[in-house]
Structure 1
Amino acid sequence: MTTVTISGGGQTITTTVAAMVAAADRLPPTRAGARAPARTSNPTSPRRSQPMAGPDTTEDKGSIAAQELRLFVERVERLREEIKGLNDDVSEVYKEMKGRGYDIKIVKKLLTIRQKKKGEHEEESLILETYMSALGMI
Protein backbone atom coordinates (compact mmCIF):
# COMPACT_ATOMS: atom_id res chain seq x y z
CA MET A 1 0.00 0.00 0.00
CA THR A 2 1.46 3.34 -1.06
CA THR A 3 1.30 6.21 1.38
CA VAL A 4 1.64 9.89 0.60
CA THR A 5 2.90 12.49 3.08
CA ILE A 6 2.11 16.15 2.46
CA SER A 7 3.62 18.90 4.60
CA GLY A 8 2.84 22.58 4.64
CA GLY A 9 1.53 25.35 6.80
CA GLY A 10 2.92 23.67 9.93
CA GLN A 11 0.89 20.52 9.32
CA THR A 12 1.77 17.09 8.00
CA ILE A 13 -0.81 14.76 6.51
CA THR A 14 -0.16 11.11 5.73
CA THR A 15 -2.72 9.17 3.75
CA THR A 16 -2.93 6.35 1.26
CA VAL A 17 -3.15 6.84 -2.45
CA ALA A 18 -6.36 4.82 -2.51
CA ALA A 19 -7.94 7.20 0.03
CA MET A 20 -6.94 10.23 -2.05
CA VAL A 21 -8.40 8.71 -5.22
CA ALA A 22 -11.61 7.79 -3.40
CA ALA A 23 -11.90 11.34 -2.04
CA ALA A 24 -11.38 12.78 -5.51
CA ASP A 25 -14.17 10.65 -6.91
CA ARG A 26 -16.55 12.23 -4.39
CA LEU A 27 -15.69 15.80 -5.43
CA PRO A 28 -18.53 17.89 -6.89
CA PRO A 29 -18.34 19.09 -10.49
CA THR A 30 -16.24 22.18 -11.19
CA ARG A 31 -17.86 25.58 -11.77
CA ALA A 32 -18.23 24.95 -15.48
CA GLY A 33 -20.25 21.83 -14.70
CA ALA A 34 -17.57 19.40 -15.83
CA ARG A 35 -15.53 17.02 -13.74
CA ALA A 36 -11.86 17.68 -13.16
CA PRO A 37 -9.57 16.99 -16.14
CA ALA A 38 -8.98 13.37 -16.99
CA ARG A 39 -6.38 11.64 -14.88
CA THR A 40 -3.25 10.53 -16.63
CA SER A 41 -0.49 8.19 -15.69
CA ASN A 42 2.13 10.86 -16.50
CA PRO A 43 1.97 13.88 -14.18
CA THR A 44 4.38 15.88 -16.36
CA SER A 45 2.06 15.94 -19.37
CA PRO A 46 -1.42 16.83 -18.07
CA ARG A 47 -2.84 17.76 -21.48
CA ARG A 48 -2.36 14.33 -23.04
CA SER A 49 -4.84 11.98 -21.49
CA GLN A 50 -3.42 8.47 -21.37
CA PRO A 51 -5.26 5.32 -20.45
CA MET A 52 -4.48 4.09 -16.98
CA ALA A 53 -2.82 0.74 -16.51
CA GLY A 54 -4.56 -2.05 -14.62
CA PRO A 55 -6.15 -1.10 -11.30
CA ASP A 56 -3.65 -3.12 -9.27
CA THR A 57 -0.48 -1.18 -10.22
CA THR A 58 0.69 0.91 -7.28
CA GLU A 59 2.92 3.12 -9.44
CA ASP A 60 -0.01 4.34 -11.56
CA LYS A 61 -2.05 5.13 -8.46
CA GLY A 62 0.86 7.21 -7.15
CA SER A 63 1.04 9.07 -10.46
CA ILE A 64 -2.69 9.68 -10.39
CA ALA A 65 -2.51 11.02 -6.85
CA ALA A 66 0.44 13.25 -7.74
CA GLN A 67 -1.39 14.64 -10.77
CA GLU A 68 -4.56 15.15 -8.77
CA LEU A 69 -2.63 16.96 -6.04
CA ARG A 70 -0.96 19.16 -8.66
CA LEU A 71 -4.36 20.02 -10.16
CA PHE A 72 -5.75 20.98 -6.75
CA VAL A 73 -2.72 23.15 -5.99
CA GLU A 74 -3.01 24.87 -9.37
CA ARG A 75 -6.72 25.56 -8.77
CA VAL A 76 -5.95 27.15 -5.41
CA GLU A 77 -3.18 29.22 -6.99
CA ARG A 78 -5.57 30.50 -9.68
CA LEU A 79 -8.20 31.36 -7.07
CA ARG A 80 -5.61 33.23 -5.00
CA GLU A 81 -4.66 35.24 -8.08
CA GLU A 82 -8.33 36.10 -8.63
CA ILE A 83 -8.66 37.14 -4.98
CA LYS A 84 -5.54 39.30 -5.28
CA GLY A 85 -7.04 41.02 -8.33
CA LEU A 86 -10.32 41.63 -6.51
CA ASN A 87 -8.49 42.99 -3.46
CA ASP A 88 -6.60 45.38 -5.76
CA ASP A 89 -9.94 46.53 -7.18
CA VAL A 90 -11.32 47.14 -3.67
CA SER A 91 -8.20 49.15 -2.80
CA GLU A 92 -8.75 51.31 -5.87
CA VAL A 93 -12.34 52.01 -4.80
CA TYR A 94 -11.14 53.02 -1.32
CA LYS A 95 -8.54 55.34 -2.86
CA GLU A 96 -11.22 56.92 -5.05
CA MET A 97 -13.51 57.39 -2.02
CA LYS A 98 -10.69 58.92 0.00
CA GLY A 99 -9.95 61.28 -2.89
CA ARG A 100 -13.55 62.45 -2.77
CA GLY A 101 -13.40 63.16 0.96
CA TYR A 102 -14.93 60.04 2.54
CA ASP A 103 -13.49 58.69 5.81
CA ILE A 104 -12.40 55.17 4.84
CA LYS A 105 -12.26 53.93 8.44
CA ILE A 106 -15.93 54.83 8.90
CA VAL A 107 -16.88 53.35 5.51
CA LYS A 108 -15.24 50.04 6.51
CA LYS A 109 -17.23 50.04 9.77
CA LEU A 110 -20.37 50.74 7.76
CA LEU A 111 -19.63 47.77 5.49
CA THR A 112 -19.10 45.54 8.54
CA ILE A 113 -22.46 46.62 9.98
CA ARG A 114 -24.23 45.99 6.66
CA GLN A 115 -22.92 42.40 6.63
CA LYS A 116 -24.49 41.58 9.99
CA LYS A 117 -27.91 40.07 10.47
CA LYS A 118 -30.80 42.34 11.27
CA GLY A 119 -30.82 43.22 14.96
CA GLU A 120 -27.30 41.95 15.59
CA HIS A 121 -25.76 45.41 15.30
CA GLU A 122 -28.36 46.97 17.59
CA GLU A 123 -27.67 44.33 20.24
CA GLU A 124 -23.92 44.90 20.01
CA SER A 125 -24.41 48.67 20.23
CA LEU A 126 -26.53 48.32 23.40
CA ILE A 127 -23.95 46.06 25.04
CA LEU A 128 -21.14 48.45 24.07
CA GLU A 129 -23.09 51.37 25.50
CA THR A 130 -23.67 49.43 28.74
CA TYR A 131 -19.95 48.63 29.08
CA MET A 132 -18.94 52.20 28.30
CA SER A 133 -21.41 53.48 30.89
CA ALA A 134 -20.01 51.06 33.48
CA LEU A 135 -16.52 52.43 32.82
CA GLY A 136 -17.73 56.05 33.04
CA MET A 137 -16.94 56.73 29.40
CA ILE A 138 -20.41 58.16 28.65
Structure 2
Amino acid sequence: MEDYVLQMNHITKLFPGVKALDDVTFDVRRGEVHALVGENGAGKSTLMKVLSGEYTDYSGELILNGEKVSFKGIKESEAAGIAIIHQELGLIQTLTVCENIFWEMRSARAVSSTGITNMTGQRNCSTS
Protein backbone atom coordinates (compact mmCIF):
# COMPACT_ATOMS: atom_id res chain seq x y z
CA MET A 1 0.00 0.00 0.00
CA GLU A 2 1.30 3.46 -0.93
CA ASP A 3 1.96 6.01 1.80
CA TYR A 4 0.00 8.94 0.39
CA VAL A 5 -0.09 12.24 2.23
CA LEU A 6 -2.50 13.74 -0.27
CA GLN A 7 -4.81 12.33 -2.91
CA MET A 8 -6.98 14.52 -5.11
CA ASN A 9 -9.25 12.15 -7.03
CA HIS A 10 -11.38 12.98 -10.08
CA ILE A 11 -11.53 16.72 -9.36
CA THR A 12 -13.79 18.66 -11.71
CA LYS A 13 -14.40 22.39 -11.34
CA LEU A 14 -16.82 24.33 -13.51
CA PHE A 15 -17.16 28.07 -14.01
CA PRO A 16 -19.94 29.56 -16.14
CA GLY A 17 -19.16 28.45 -19.68
CA VAL A 18 -15.82 26.81 -18.78
CA LYS A 19 -14.65 23.48 -17.39
CA ALA A 20 -11.51 24.61 -15.54
CA LEU A 21 -10.62 21.15 -14.20
CA ASP A 22 -11.75 17.95 -15.91
CA ASP A 23 -11.37 14.74 -13.86
CA VAL A 24 -7.96 15.67 -12.40
CA THR A 25 -6.17 13.18 -10.16
CA PHE A 26 -3.05 14.23 -8.23
CA ASP A 27 -1.26 12.11 -5.61
CA VAL A 28 1.59 13.01 -3.26
CA ARG A 29 3.50 10.35 -1.34
CA ARG A 30 5.18 11.04 1.99
CA GLY A 31 8.58 12.66 1.44
CA GLU A 32 7.88 13.89 -2.09
CA VAL A 33 8.06 17.49 -3.22
CA HIS A 34 5.97 18.67 -6.18
CA ALA A 35 5.66 21.82 -8.24
CA LEU A 36 2.71 22.45 -10.54
CA VAL A 37 3.82 24.02 -13.79
CA GLY A 38 2.00 24.73 -17.01
CA GLU A 39 0.68 27.36 -19.34
CA ASN A 40 -1.66 30.11 -18.23
CA GLY A 41 -5.17 28.73 -17.99
CA ALA A 42 -4.03 25.13 -17.44
CA GLY A 43 -5.78 24.94 -14.04
CA LYS A 44 -2.85 25.06 -11.62
CA SER A 45 -4.24 27.82 -9.43
CA THR A 46 -7.75 26.40 -9.65
CA LEU A 47 -6.55 23.00 -8.39
CA MET A 48 -4.73 24.62 -5.47
CA LYS A 49 -7.79 26.74 -4.64
CA VAL A 50 -9.82 23.52 -4.45
CA LEU A 51 -7.19 22.01 -2.13
CA SER A 52 -7.04 25.11 0.07
CA GLY A 53 -10.81 25.37 0.48
CA GLU A 54 -11.08 28.64 -1.42
CA TYR A 55 -13.31 26.79 -3.92
CA THR A 56 -15.86 24.47 -2.35
CA ASP A 57 -18.15 23.85 -5.33
CA TYR A 58 -16.34 21.06 -7.21
CA SER A 59 -16.79 17.34 -7.72
CA GLY A 60 -14.29 14.69 -6.70
CA GLU A 61 -12.62 13.90 -3.40
CA LEU A 62 -9.69 15.06 -1.30
CA ILE A 63 -7.93 12.57 0.95
CA LEU A 64 -5.39 13.91 3.44
CA ASN A 65 -3.33 11.40 5.41
CA GLY A 66 -5.81 8.65 4.58
CA GLU A 67 -8.94 10.56 5.61
CA LYS A 68 -11.48 12.17 3.29
CA VAL A 69 -11.63 15.92 3.85
CA SER A 70 -13.73 18.80 2.56
CA PHE A 71 -12.43 22.22 3.52
CA LYS A 72 -14.92 25.05 3.83
CA GLY A 73 -12.26 27.75 3.73
CA ILE A 74 -8.58 28.54 3.88
CA LYS A 75 -8.45 28.59 7.69
CA GLU A 76 -9.70 24.98 7.78
CA SER A 77 -7.08 23.80 5.28
CA GLU A 78 -4.32 25.68 7.10
CA ALA A 79 -5.38 24.06 10.39
CA ALA A 80 -4.99 20.68 8.64
CA GLY A 81 -1.45 21.61 7.52
CA ILE A 82 -2.12 22.80 3.96
CA ALA A 83 -0.25 25.96 2.92
CA ILE A 84 -0.25 27.31 -0.62
CA ILE A 85 2.58 29.46 -1.95
CA HIS A 86 1.00 31.38 -4.81
CA GLN A 87 2.83 32.30 -7.98
CA GLU A 88 1.85 35.93 -7.46
CA LEU A 89 3.79 36.06 -4.20
CA GLY A 90 4.90 39.61 -3.44
CA LEU A 91 8.39 39.44 -2.00
CA ILE A 92 9.86 41.60 0.71
CA GLN A 93 13.36 42.30 -0.57
CA THR A 94 14.97 42.58 2.88
CA LEU A 95 13.83 39.09 3.95
CA THR A 96 15.38 35.74 3.08
CA VAL A 97 13.59 33.19 0.88
CA CYS A 98 12.50 31.25 3.98
CA GLU A 99 11.25 34.38 5.73
CA ASN A 100 9.25 35.39 2.65
CA ILE A 101 7.63 31.93 2.47
CA PHE A 102 6.50 32.10 6.09
CA TRP A 103 5.60 35.82 6.09
CA GLU A 104 1.85 35.17 5.89
CA MET A 105 2.10 33.19 9.11
CA ARG A 106 3.54 36.24 10.92
CA SER A 107 0.70 36.36 13.42
CA ALA A 108 2.08 33.19 14.98
CA ARG A 109 5.74 34.06 14.48
CA ALA A 110 8.05 36.98 15.08
CA VAL A 111 10.44 38.00 12.30
CA SER A 112 13.85 39.14 13.45
CA SER A 113 17.26 39.72 11.91
CA THR A 114 18.26 36.20 13.00
CA GLY A 115 15.36 34.41 11.31
CA ILE A 116 11.73 33.58 11.95
CA THR A 117 10.99 32.58 15.49
CA ASN A 118 7.66 31.19 16.62
CA MET A 119 6.11 32.41 19.84
CA THR A 120 7.88 29.69 21.83
CA GLY A 121 11.25 30.96 20.62
CA GLN A 122 11.99 28.03 18.28
CA ARG A 123 13.86 29.18 15.19
CA ASN A 124 12.39 28.04 11.87
CA CYS A 125 14.53 29.89 9.30
CA SER A 126 18.27 30.32 9.47
CA THR A 127 19.83 33.36 7.86
CA SER A 128 23.35 32.02 8.03
Query: Which of the five TM-score ranges fits, normalised by the shorter chain?
Result: under 0.3
More contact order relative to length (CA 8 Å, sep ≥ 6): 2
The higher radius of gyration belongs to 1
Q: Which has the higher strand share?
A: 2
